[in-house]
Homo-oligomer: A and B are copies of this chain.
């Protein structure tokens, strides 16, 4: 029940503030014998790293990850492998510019967690957002890199499907496009629209929300569990724990409210490799358990609260103030959230896989198979 841990058999504990000496995580429960190097983790951090375009924060962090424990190599291991013991990862904070924080030290920035932290703890590290900083998500991405190696048959990919009012039409989704532009945009024609929109927002010192879609291909039937460990319940909790997330949906999600039962019930036919579903309104999960279809989810992100417009607020003394949040920031945090959403999906799935293997041995029963006695 740690507040800063998630997962069960594959369990991740993150720590660190934006302006402390470092941040990191401990990954406990990773199976042994998995090849793992810092470079493999680093590649996913690069994907997340800020400073890659003018529409994301200009903070320049190398985000170099170090593996401090849990791996080993000798002449017999064929490279460095996990040992089954906890993997400690650390990323030093090297870009802690000695800014002047006096303006926000006692101010509650509207839409930020400043006031909530103060109300709860009576003390807070206000520098760069402290523990509420999106920098914490670097540790998630690093953990997610390990999770992916626990479930090598699963491919997890994310995309931004809406920025402000501009949504990608489902029929325009082309996953190959997501790596061709700085927005993880799956629709080439949408790229210039978003570019223009974000440029306008950036110049105005404003910000905008976004929606991120994620899907996991190759998840076999049987992962997840009733009732409170439903795969979709765990995905929902994990996604909503990401900074700025305000909504999560699985499969058809909120649109399901307007569907009829006929539309919603994914029909099945016999296929060569097990059942074939004729649609995927369920998002690959029924009764909390994976069905073998792609697992699909969408996550809504609010606009970042750091804007240049003067906003009314209070300070710690209870006085009414007006403030604007200066300095580097993201006009659209949703863009940077893509690798984080992917990482959380990877961690949830790795954990579900290990638990499924624990409780049942790990296989899936296919129609036609005999049941156990």
Interface size class of A (residues with CB under 8 A): 35 or more
Contacts of A234 in B (CB 8 A): 237
Chain A, 296-337, contact with B by CB distance < 8 Å: what is the 0/1 string? Answer: 000011111111010111111111100000000000001000
**Are A78 and B373 in touch, CB under 8 angstroms?**
yes
Bound form: Cα–Cα A218–B163 in Å: 34
Please determine whether B260 and A290 come into contact, CB atoms closer than 8 angstroms. no
Task: Report chain B residues within 8 Å CB of A209.
Answer: 256-259, 264
Asked whether, in the complex, the Cβ of A3 is within 8 Å of the Cβ of B32, the reply is no
Q: Say yes or no: A131 contacts B83, CB within 8 Å.
A: yes
Binds B, one of A40-48, A113-121, A173-181: A113-121
Task: Return chain B residues, CB-CB under 8 Å to A86.
Answer: 2-4, 13-16
Assembled-state Cα–Cα distance A264/B333 (Å)? 13
- Enumerate A336-352 residues with CB–CB distance to B below 8 Å: none
Residues on B with C-beta less than 8 A from A79 are 373
Contact partners of A307 in chain B: CB under 8 A: 261-262, 265
Q: How far is the CA of A94 from the CA of B6 in the complex (A)?
A: 32
Give the docked Cα–Cα distance between A77 and B125 (Å): 11
Closest Cβ neighbor of A9 among chain B residues: B358
A81-95 toward B: CB 8 Å interface, digit per residue (1/0)? 101111110100000
> How close is A347's CB to chain B, nearest CB, in angstroms?
10
- Chain A stretch 10-46: residues in CB contact (< 8 A) with chain B: 11, 13-17, 20-24, 26, 28-29, 31-33, 35
A10 to chain B, nearest CB (A): 9
Chain B residues contacting A14 (CB-CB under 8 Å) are: 86, 227
Taking a contact as CB atoms under 8 Å apart, the answer to whether B241 and A246 are in contact is no
Number of copies: 4
A198 interface contact, C-beta 8 A: no
* Least distance between A169 CB and chain B CB atoms (Å): 15
Give the segment of A57-65, A151-159, A184-192, A266-274 that binds chain B: A266-274
Whether B26 contacts A222 by the Cβ 8 Å rule is no
CB-CB under 8 A for A26 and B23, given A85-B226, A361-B357? no
Q: CB distance A270 to B319 under 8 Å? A: yes
How long is the Cα–Cα vector from A35 to B371 in the complex, in angstroms? 13
Give min CB distance, A328 to chain B, whole Å: 15
The reply to whether A314 and B69 contact each other, CB–CB distance below 8 Å, is no
A52 within 8 A of B: no
Q: Can you offer 8 A-B residue contacts whose CB atoms are under 8 A?
A: A4-B229, A5-B13, A32-B120, A84-B121, A119-B292, A240-B250, A249-B254, A265-B307
Given A14-B86, A15-B87; 10 other pairs, CB 8 A cutoff: A1-B9, A5-B13, A15-B70, A78-B373, A208-B261, A227-B241, A261-B303, A261-B307, A268-B313, A361-B362
- 7 residue pairs, one from A and one from B, having the closest CB atoms: A113-B287, A358-B358, A237-B237, A111-B265, A33-B372, A247-B249, A207-B261
